[in-house]
Chain A
Amino acid sequence: GDSVTQMEGPVTLSEEAFLTINCTYTATGYPSLFWYVQYPGEGLQLLLKATKADDKGSNKGFEATYRKETTSFHLEKGSVQVSDSAVYFCALSAQTGNQFYFGTGTSLTVIP
C-alpha cells in the first residue's frame, strides 16, 4: 500500500545552519506530495506541495523537489531560524485522491 517514510528526529541545529529532512514514499501511479508543519500547540499547516514529477514546491525559504526516480521529496532550507522550530510531516495523497498518508513527523529545534 501507499506509505511515507521520513527521517527520524529530533533534529537540533544552530541558527543559519542548512536543513535537510529526508522523505521517501511508496505509491502506485502518480501521487501528490506535501510537507506540513506543526508549531507547538497548533494544528498542521501546509508548508508546500508538488503534484507531479520534477515539480519543486517552495514557501518561506523551504523547498522540496518531487523526484520520481528516487521516490523522494526531501525538505531543505538554506538558513534556518529559531522560528522554524516545529514538527515537520511529509505526506502523500494517492492518485485516486481523498486519503492522505502521513509520515511520523520530524521534530526540529533551532538554537540561537
Chain B
Amino acid sequence: DAGVIQSPRHEVTEMGQEVTLRCKPISGHDYLFWYRQTMMRGLELLIYFNNNVPIDDSGMPEDRFSAKMPNASFSTLKIQPSEPRDSAVYFCASSWGGSSYNEQFFGPGTRLTVL
C-alpha cells in the first residue's frame, strides 16, 4: 500500500495568494482528517470527513480555510487568501471504521510558507 499521499510536499507563496493542498487517503479508509502543526500550537485538528461528508469543522481557523472531499480517494484543503500566520506543516490522515481501536495513518505533510 502506498500510504497516505500528500501534495505538494513544500509550498512557498506570497500573502494573498490562494493555496490548495491535496490528499489521497489509503484505499478503503472511510475517515479523513486534516491537521495543522506549528511550534506554537502543536498539532491541531482542522476538519474531518466520514464517507466524504464533513463531520466536524470546528477546528477550521476562519472562513479563509475550506476543505472538500469530492470522492473517497481525494480531498483538498484550500486557503484563500493566504496570510503569513498560515505558515505551518499540514498533515492529512486517514483511518478505517468508527472504532476507537483503529489508528490514524498520516501522510508526510505539506510544509507551507507564506511570505
The reply to whether the CB of A62 lies closer than 8 angstroms to some CB of chain B is: no
Scan B92-109; emit 1 where CB is below 8 A from any A CB, else 0: 010001111111111111
The reply to whether the CB of B48 lies closer than 8 angstroms to some CB of chain A is: yes
Number of chain A residues close to chain B: CB under 8 A: 23
- Contact partner of A105 (CB less than 8 A), chosen from B4, B42, B101, is B42
What residues of A have a CB within 8 angstroms of the CB of B106 in the complex? 36, 43-45
- Contact partner of B100 (CB less than 8 A), chosen from A36, A45, A46, A93, is A93
Q: Known contacts being A97-B98, A98-B50, A99-B48, is A42 close to B108, with CB within 8 Å?
A: yes
> Is there contact, CB below 8 Å, between A51 and B100?
yes
* Centre residue among A94, A98, A104 by max chain B CB count within 10 A: A98
Scan A27-41; emit 1 where CB is below 8 A from any B CB, else 0: 000011010100000
What residues of B have a CB within 8 angstroms of the CB of A105 in the complex? 42-43
> Is there contact, CB below 8 Å, between B108 and A51?
no
Q: Known contacts being A42-B108, A43-B106, A43-B108, is A100 close to B99, with CB within 8 Å?
A: no
- Contact partner of A95 (CB less than 8 A), chosen from B4, B42, B100, B102, is B100
Q: Which residue of B lies closest to A48 (CB)?
A: B103
- Contact partner of A98 (CB less than 8 A), chosen from B48, B91, B105, is B48
Residues in B lying within 8 Å of A, measured CB to CB = 4, 31, 33, 42-43, 45, 48, 50, 55-56, 91, 93, 97-109
Q: Which 7 A-B pairs have the closest CB atoms?
A: A43-B106, A93-B100, A97-B98, A44-B106, A32-B100, A97-B100, A104-B42
Residues in A lying within 8 Å of B, measured CB to CB = 31-32, 34, 36, 42-46, 49, 51, 89, 93-100, 102, 104-105
CB<8 Å pairs between A and B, sample of 13: A36-B106, A42-B108, A43-B91, A43-B93, A43-B108, A46-B103, A51-B100, A97-B99, A97-B100, A98-B98, A99-B56, A100-B33, A105-B43
